[in-house]
Structure 1
Amino acid sequence: MSHVCSLFGDAHAHYDTCPACSPHSDLYVTVQVWAGSKPLTVPVQTAYKSFRTERRWNEWLTLPIPYSSLPQNSRLAITIWDLSPAGGDGAKGHAVPFGGTTLPLFDKDNQLHKGRQKCHVYRHREADGNDDSRTPSFLPRRQAVKGAPEDREADELDRMEKLFKKHEMGEIPRVDWLDQLVFRGFEKRGLQSARSSRKAAQRRQAAQADGVGEKADTEADSGPQPSSFMLNVELPRFDFPVVFADHEYPPPPVSSYLQLSSSQSNVILKPPPEVQFGPGINAVGDDEGYGGRLIPVYDPEVAAKDNPAETKHRRLVRSQHRSGNMDKDLKPNAKVRDELNTIMAYSPTHTLTPEEKDLIWKFRYYLTRNKKAVTKFAKSVNWQDVSEARHAAQILGMWTDIDVDDALELLGPTFDSPAVRAFAVDRLRKADDHELLLYLLQLVQALKYEHISPQSGHEVTQDSSLARFLISRAVSSFTLGNYFWWYVMVECDDKSQDQGPHNQAVYGKIAYDFMTELVKQPGGEETRATLRRQAEWISILSKISGEIKASNESIAKRTERVKHFLADPKNELVTIDPPLPLPLDPSVEIIGVAPEETVVFKSSLHPIKVSFKTTAGRKYPIIFKTGDDLRQDQLVIQIITLMDDLLRKENLDLKLSPYKILATSTSAGLSQFVHSMSFQAITSKYRNNPALSYLKQNNPDSHGPLGLRKETLDTFIKSCAGYCVITYILGVGDRHLDNLLLTPDGHFFHADFGYILGRDPKPFAPAMKLSKEMVDCMGGANSEHYRQFKQYCFLAYSALRKNCNLILNLFSLMANANIPDIKLEPDKAALKVKERFHLELSSEEDAIRNLERIMDDNLNALVPVVIDKLHELVQAFRA
């Protein structure tokens, strides 16, 4: 059912009309709501009233239907009735229709009509509320003047009426003395036009009386025509437009084919598939059968189930190669080899055509030597065909070793075959703990695509090879186990509608099986106790953080309150014995808190900075925050850490410093505090070349470049290049001088990743954040250091572009992670990252030139500078 905002109660209408022909007729009006050529309400009518000259009812009518129940094609069927003892054509008892008109309730923009409406009256006809009404209140321009010469006076009156309506609605400012002059002039002009129209009508009636019968018959057959009578209808006025909006319901899940993997059909049913009608349905002139009205019915299997013709074609083609005896030695010629190489170069988001799938199947034995072909082969198999799926599983066992990025793609939502997923897990077994930790966040999300039963008596290791693998590795390494445990706990804590109770039950079962397996290991009981102590430590910090956030005290009082809480021995934070591995970084063991270094920040959530003493004799500062979901920031930091690892493998160390961050629930988390200063604070403290002045103060060297140590400047240039390229690829938005940070030793980095994948709250935001302050610190856009900076950008972009498949697969695995900027369009998250790689540019030189153009455009743009100044003013006002 369609809905309009039901806030406005019931519909009303108010009526008046011009004088009728007879001065003795007492007319009344009936109004009825129609939609879809059917009445929606009973008619309501005006009370009896005797008239003297003009017919003005001046009465509100209430229609028995709320606005929220009105369909988009609703209309008011308004009929003016006269009384006659003798009756007549169309009479209902003694009531004879004087005239009728049909007024639509919504305009072409789906907005509810409001205010005064001028309606044409059709004499001696009852109003019909059909969708193709023969008594429309509004006439097209050409129909209103059909058969008559151009009437400029009428056009001017219509224009003035529209202006008067705007004046009534407050769209034109009121000027009392001028309004009175205009009103009097318009009234005189209207009376003169009415007299002219009456004389013209009398002349037409005289001409029709003298005309021949054939002409009269022709006019009678042309349908009802509007008379010279007009009905003024006044509808309620609202402060804001009332707009009709449709609620789109999901297609009914009545077909088993809706759950097919896209490895078979490559069709994502979002939005629901468009229903294509067959020949003859709704065709022109198709008015016979079933009363001439055919109703289209939604078929949920359309576009989900394979086309029968294509299915039979595939079976016929592949039946020739089913046994594989001849195919084992089949090799492509040069032309076919080029076609296969083109297919192998497709990105993970590319959809294969049926012809490409058949070609891959034909040369499947030849392709087993190509490690990049395994994902394309898996996509070409119809895994619903038992015989074909069994043969494909045998082929997978013959495949050469594949890369980890292809293994991650096979664990994504597009592959649900246990054989394929088990093959991918076998590749992951070869990864060491460091490599596995880089992808652990995505692998925990990939458990959503496994066939895991949440039943208590059923172990997940029996259902899922991935769950069995992750649990076995997590119990054998405390670092992996620490992060695996907290990633799973966050999923258990997610009670949103996007995840559902089934997801919570599955992850709850995974956590239970992990603990069950953990206690079987040597030292497992101690590890379990450590994880429990971590949870208690998080609970203590959450308690004070929640109290500080809810209090209305000043920052100074909040800070003292936190210090007193931390210093209280009852809270067991002053001394932590035995040492506790930090959940944020298990390699760091804390032995107590340093209350004197506590800081409460001024932001709306009031996060607190707490420093803990470590077994290494140092202090480890962290920021604890409640009331905010840190999973998006956690994802971005994880991707930056991965990219840093990929760049180092290319022998390119860009001095990146991704600080650690861990979400402990859907509304709380920890992050590492890095001693640094924001560019906003630096520009406030230093006026001339602020970033360079800041670095000079901390790293002076009169013999070094630009007056500071060479290592510091080199660190700054490299880190700027790395973060500029990475934040551009990830589409990080809301970049301003407050979330660009600089450490005293020259490490530049970004913070606060609330907007990614191209989203930005500011208009005309740059694609890459390259501020003037950064370039000035390098010596200007014409300096040798800036040219070196650009070279680092090009090298980083080329290196990451080579590994784009791995990055795209990681984002594909996060499609259902309930991360804000991904869940807006889950199926397009990887595509948005792919756009930044510009894979359509085949040559590396073209890609680098495109990146250089983006850098130059952002450097010379004025809008980012204005945005930074406005942000500075807003922050100063808030302070």
Structure 2
Amino acid sequence: METFSFATSSSIKLKVNVKIHQLDGNQKPLPYSVLLKRPDLRHRASIANPNSELYATAQIWADSKPLTLPMQTTYKAFKSGRIWNEWLELPIGYDDLPLTSQIAITIWDLSPTGGEGAKGHSIPFGGTTIPLFDEDHTLLKGRQRCRLHRHKAADGLSSTTTPWIKKPSRRSRKDVKTSVDVVDEKVAEMERLEALLKKQEMNELPTNHWLDQMVYRKMMKLRKDVLKIPPATQKDKQISDQPSESVDDEQDEELFYLHIELPRFDHPIVFADQEYPPPPVSNLQSSMMSEVRLKPPPEVSFGPGINVDGNGYGDAYAGRLVRIYDPEIGLNENPVEVKHRRLVRGRNAGLADRDMKPNARIRDELNAIMNYGPTHSLTLSERDHLWTFRYYLCRDKRALTKFVKSVSWHEQREAQNAAPMLAKWAEIDVDDALELLGPSFTSPIVRAYAVDRLRKADNDELLVYLLQLVQALKYETVAPEMADSDPAQSSSLARFLISRAKDSLILGNFLHWYLMVECDDHSPEQGPEFRKLFHKVEYDFMVELEKTEDGLARRKTFLRQAELITVLSKISKDARFSREDRTRKIERLKKYLADPKNDLLHIDPPLPLPLDPSILITGIYPDDCNVLKSSLFPLQLNFRTTTNTKYPIIFKTGDDLRQDQLVVQIITLMDRLLRKENLDLKLSPYRILATSTSAGAVQFVPSLSLAAAIAKHRGILPYLRANNPDDTAPLGVRKEAMDTYIKSCAGYCVITYLLGVGDRHLDNLLLSPSGHFFHVDFGYILGRDPKPFAPLMKLSHEMIDGMGGTGHAHYAQFKSYCFTAYSTLRKQANLILNLFALMREANIPDIRLEPDKAVWKVQERLALDLTEEEAMRYFERLIEESSNAIMPVVIDRIHGLVQHFRA
């Protein structure tokens, strides 16, 4: 058999659309005798004017019930014909359509006196009902010609009285052929020719121009003949058993056809219903949903005395019962399984497990469990294996997080038996400790154990994870009001962060600002209980800070930093909302900064910069400041440090920088991980700090965008050659600069791919004179991109030309660095995924859209299901596809034109 390509209706995530084309037909004029009997008819719009303004409504029905509200065409003033040519979008998707779906289309006339079926001043001119699926369960598509039933509204019923096709009527006598039969035969012939024309439009029939023109003329002639209905003969009226008794009945013989169009698809759309799994008979807790075994739906049968087939009663089908599923039973724990677990894991049941060792088969299963990622859920049998062989596994540090998942910590006896095992286990890594602080682990015992592991980390390592640890406070089970009444019940994580931050200037600085931003977040996504929590932690931090030797001075420093940020926010808002041109804004900025009254010209004593507390600022250079070209008009400021050097920053308001702050923090972490493997990719993770939900500071790195460098030097290679000339080196660029460019390109290509950074164009790719390449502006991450057909990795041909092209040895070196970086970061997948898991409740735009899928999106790009060799081949294909993609080139050109016109 030939292959047949088709799509299922359940996979079409689009709304149902129908195009109302035009109405064909000739309306017979009413005789004056009829108008004398019915004077109200002269006021109907269609009778007063043959091209009156009619409107159409369309509604989806199924099983004699309406599924949607009717959608109506807009007003059209007709001149020579009733032509709408308007698409109507119905409020239901193709994936939600049942097989019996029909579109009921009604053409409405206007009458001030009303009439039968009237809705206000609208009365039905005619209606038609067309099914969406044919007899083969295939979705109709393309142009359709529907018979309009005069003076009837489309009913949409299963046995509709307004079908879209009226089959030829049967002759009541063999020797009599009525005029109606003649009309029906012509209609059937016309429909046959139209069906052939549709096949030709779908390229199912060959094209023959001269023959096609003859067929088209034949169709037009048939249409004219059909629409010009001859009056019924007296013999025809005698055959009819229902003579006309009203004006409406006399017009029933008028033939009107409505032309509509349904969307076309590349393949036939076959109906496929949504298949929902039956609810389980019994179930475990929500954390154990992976073990639920769904049973097939019950087989429904009839009891004794029930009419089975409609032909009679009988006891042939007696004795069979119908099983009824109770959702409440399915959502509760099975008491038998609960009792069994309590007995197995009871107070004295663990004595026999100390010397137990797994056999070969179970050992292989345990090794497979050890390789599970942090997002993998365990089955009941896997949890039982971990509990049974817990003493055997306590020498493997990887097994601790799996063992913790196997314990029901809400069971008191089980928790008492499991808690001593934590102290006996091999010391876990930091990434596993971060996993234990995630939302899946609510036991204070487990979280306190994870905090004890973090105590062994130094301040530099702790600073890398501080952003996630602040968000992990949301998962603490201790309420702030309980902590007030009982200090022993306070959060172990909060106590740990406060104890480390009060003794470290840098750690305390960032903890303070991270907490203040969360306290400032009054969006609907940030609940009041979280704001109260962060207020409580900030208060406790200030209380503990005062107990240190320089605590009062540091509190005063935080106050001065807040005053500085307030002043900068006011200046930035004034520049942003001022209607002056950019030159006037720059002049006003310099004048404000130079005024001694504003306390920015000289800062005494020196103040730790919130963005980088290791830098002490003593003032600002008012003449060396700028207002950048941007919709938000950010400020470029140069602070004077205690070493008489400049520290440039960009301060902006009107933008939430927490997402950019997260991305830069992850880049800093990945740079740290790569350096541990002796791979320095010359990354430039500049500093960024969100000071509120709508303001923040960014470290300014002197550089040029790729677009500016290409425009000024006609390429990246000439730019590198101009800043790092060396006639003896390949391509005329100093070896150190070229090596820095190649390494940084490789590092950022891998990292931005893993993070799914979007909206990449030549204006947010920057290059410093020393060859450091880096990305800025992370408004789209985790695969989101405002531009269509965006590549998974941003590797433009301009970047490759800077290496000498695809044939140069530098390009092969670039690919080698990419493979090494990708392989190294895949080995640290657990740490990266755990950090994103801790940010699930953070109010960050691209994580907030789909919190449950944030970790999954990063995990998918890590390709953990592939072997090392398969992953390298996959990444090599990714590099080739990204470098040869055409759409990014078009997008960069369009973006360049838009920026040129804006300038």
TM-score (structure 1 length as normaliser): 0.74
Partner of 1:156: 190
Q: Deviations over 1:166-223 (max 9, x none)?
A: xxxxxxxxxxxxxxxx99x9799456556479579939947x99xxxxxxxxxxxxxx
Q: CA deviation at 1:802?
A: 0.6
> Could you tell me how far apart the structure 2 residues matched to 1:574 and 1:459 are?
48
The letter of the residue matching 1:850 is Y
Following superposition, the deviation at residue 386 of structure 1 comes to 3.0
Equivalent in the alignment of 1:419: 445
1:829 Cα deviation (Å)? 0.8
Task: Find the counterpart in structure 2 of residue 579 from structure 1.
Answer: 606
Instruction: Tell me the distance in 2 between the aligned counterparts of 1:200 and 1:638.
Output: 91
Is the Cα–Cα contact under 8 Å of residues 617 and 640 in structure 2 kept in the other structure? yes
**Cα distance, 1:50 vs. partner?**
9.6
Distance 2:370 2:362 in 1: 12
SS of 2:502 mapped into structure 1: helix
CA distance in 2 between partners of 1:611 and 1:728 (Å) = 33
Does 2:413 match 1:387? yes
| Corresponding letter in the other structure for 2:797 | K
Work out whether 1:872 is the aligned partner of 2:899. Answer: no
d(CA) in 1 for partners of 2:628 and 2:37?
71
The structure-2 alpha-carbon separation of the partners of 1:873 and 1:55, relative to structure 1 and needing over 3 Å to count, comes to closer
The superposition leaves residues 69-106 of structure 1 with CA deviations (integer Å, 9 ceiling, x where unpaired) of 999899999999xxxxxxxxxx99xxxxxx99987899
Q: Confirm or deny: 8 A CA contact 2:790 2:887 kept in the other structure.
A: yes
Q: Which residue of 2 aligns with 1:850?
A: 874
Secondary structure of 2:548's aligned partner: coil
State the SS of the aligned residue for 2:622.
Answer: strand
Does residue 638 of the first structure (1) align with residue 665 of the second (2)? yes
Aligned mates of 1:27, 1:806 — CA distance in 2:
89
Counterparts of 1:763-802 in structure 2, within 5 Å, are 763-802=788-827
CA-to-partner distance for each residue in 1:216-263, whole Å, 9 max, x for gaps?
Answer: xxxxxxxxxxx966798999xxxxxxxxxxxxxxxxxxxxx99x9964
Are 1:263 and 1:378, in contact at CA under 8 Å, matched by a contact in 2?
no
Q: Give SS of 2:556's match.
A: helix
CA separation of 1:100 and 1:662: change in aligned 2, threshold 3 A: closer
Aligned to 2:523: 496
Would you say 1:809 and 2:872 are equivalent positions? Answer: no
Q: Distance in 2 between matches of 1:302 and 1:28?
A: 70
RMSD: 5.1
- Deviation digits for residues 301-345 of structure 1 (CA, Å, limit 9, x no counterpart): 687x35527845863884589721111111111221111111110
Shift of 1:442: 0.5
Q: What pairs with 1:730-741 in structure 2 (closer than 5 Å)?
A: 730-741=755-766
Query: What is residue 430 of structure 1 aligned with on the other side?
Result: 456
Paired with 2:574 and 2:370, the residues of 1 have a C-alpha distance of 56
Paired residue for 2:698, among 671, 674, 679? Answer: 671
Note if 1:480 corresponds to 2:507: yes
Which runs of 5 or more residues in structure 2 are unaligned?
1-22, 58-67, 73-89, 93-100, 109-115, 118-123, 140-144, 172-180, 198-215, 243-250, 260-281, 311-323
Please state how far the C-alpha of 1:53 moved relative to its aligned partner.
Answer: 13
Which is worse superposed, 867-876 or 609-618?
867-876
Measure, in 2, the Cα distance between the counterparts of 1:446 and 1:680: 40
In the alignment, the residues of structure 2 paired with residue 276 and residue 527 of structure 1 have an alpha-carbon distance, to the nearest angstrom, of 66
Shift of 1:604: 0.3
Give the total of aligned pairs. 754
Aligned to 2:639: 612
Quick check: 613-622 or 383-392, which moved more?
383-392
CA distance in 1: counterparts of 2:872 and 2:751, whole angstroms: 15
Q: Is 1:715 aligned to 2:740, yes or no?
A: yes
Query: Which moved further from structure 2: 365-374 or 620-629?
Result: 365-374
Matches of 1:27 and 1:471, distance apart in 2: 96
Sort the Cα spacing of 1:423 and 1:355 in 2 relative to 1 into closer, same or farther, 3 A. Answer: same
Q: State whether residues 610 and 621 of structure 1, in contact with CA within 8 Å, keep that contact through their aligned partners in structure 2.
A: yes
Q: 1:508 aligns with which of 535, 544, 547?
A: 535
The one-letter amino acid of 1:421's match is: R
Query: Contact 2:387 / 2:406 at 8 angstroms: preserved in 1?
Result: yes
418-427 vs 307-316, which deviates more?
Answer: 307-316
Residue 649 of structure 1 is matched in structure 2 by: 676
Alignment partner of 1:346 is 2:372? yes
Instruction: Give the counterpart of 1:662 among 677, 683, 689.
Output: 689
- Residue identity opposite 1:862 in structure 2: I
- Aligned pairs (5 A) from 1:545-556: 545-556=572-583
Question: Which residue number in structure 1 is paired with residue 883 of structure 2?
Answer: 859
Q: Would you say 1:375 and 2:375 are equivalent positions?
A: no
Asked whether the 8 Å contact 2:780–2:846 carries over to 1, the reply is: yes
Structure 1 residue 616: Cα displacement: 2.1
CA distance in 2, matches of 1:383, 1:579: 51
Instruction: Quote the offset at 1:492 in angstroms.
Output: 1.1
Letter in 1 for 2:557: T
Distance 1:629 1:50, change over 3 A: closer
* Displacement after TM superposition at 1:662 (Å): 0.4
Partner of 1:360: 386
CA gap of 1:276–1:708, structure 2 versus 1, over 3 A, is: same
Contact kept, 8 Å, 2:638 with 2:646, in 1: the verdict is yes
Contact 1:20-1:55 within 8 A present in 2 as well: no
Give the aligned residue type for 2:759: D
Q: Is the 8 A contact 1:127 1:135 kept in 2?
A: no
Distance 1:571 1:106 in 2: 75
Q: Could you tell me which residue of structure 1 aligns to residue 362 of structure 2?
A: 336
Q: Which moved more, 1:815-824 or 1:665-674?
A: 815-824
Distance 1:286 1:532 in 2: 83
1:736 to 1:417, Cα distance in 2 relative to 1, 3 A: same
- Evaluate the alpha carbon distance shift between residue 66 and residue 701 of structure 1 in structure 2; reply closer, same or farther with a 3 A threshold: closer
Name the SS for the 2:579 alignment partner.
Answer: coil
Percent of aligned pairs sharing the same letter: 51
Measured in 2, the distance between the counterparts of 1:386 and 1:281 equals 46
Q: 1:591 to 1:54 in 2, by over 3 A?
A: closer
For the 8 Å contact 1:626–1:669, the answer to whether it is kept is: yes
Matched, 1:826 2:851: yes
C-alpha distance in structure 2 between counterparts of 1:833 and 1:310, whole Å = 40
Q: 1:158 and 1:24 mapped to 2: Cα distance? A: 40
Question: In the alignment, what sits opposite 1:597?
Answer: 624
Which amino acid letter does the alignment assign opposite residue 156 of structure 1? M
Structure 2 length-normalised TM: 0.73
Residues 575-606 of structure 1: per-residue CA shift (max 9 Å, x gap): 11111101111111100000111011111001
Counterpart contact for 2:103–2:132, Cα < 8 Å: no
Looking at structure 2, the residues matched to 194 and 335 of structure 1 have their Cα atoms a distance apart, in angstroms, of 85
What amino acid sits opposite 1:468 in the alignment? R
Q: 1:200 to 1:839 in 2, by over 3 A?
A: farther
| Aligned: 1:694 with 2:722 | no
Q: Check conservation: 1:461, 1:467, Cα contact below 8 A.
A: no
- Check conservation: 2:409, 2:443, Cα contact below 8 A: yes
- Quote the Cα distance in structure 1 between the aligned partners of 2:600 and 2:654: 22
In the alignment, which residue of structure 2 is the partner of 1:43?
Answer: none
**Alignment partner, residue 168 of structure 1:** none
Q: How does 1:61-460 map to 2 (within 5 A)?
A: 119-120=148-149, 132=157, 134-139=159-164, 151=185, 153-154=187-188, 156=190, 189-190=223-224, 192=226, 195=229, 202=236, 205=239, 263-265=287-289, 280=300, 305-306=331-332, 308=334, 311-312=337-338, 315=341, 318=344, 323-455=349-481, 457-458=484-485
User: Where does the alignment leave 5 or more consecutive residues of structure 1 unmatched?
Assistant: 1-13, 30-45, 81-90, 93-98, 111-115, 164-181, 210-226, 236-256, 269-273, 289-296
C-alpha distance in structure 2 between counterparts of 1:755 and 1:79, whole Å: 47
Deviation per CA, 1:152-172, whole angstroms, max 9, x where unpaired? 5356379999x9xxxxxxxxx
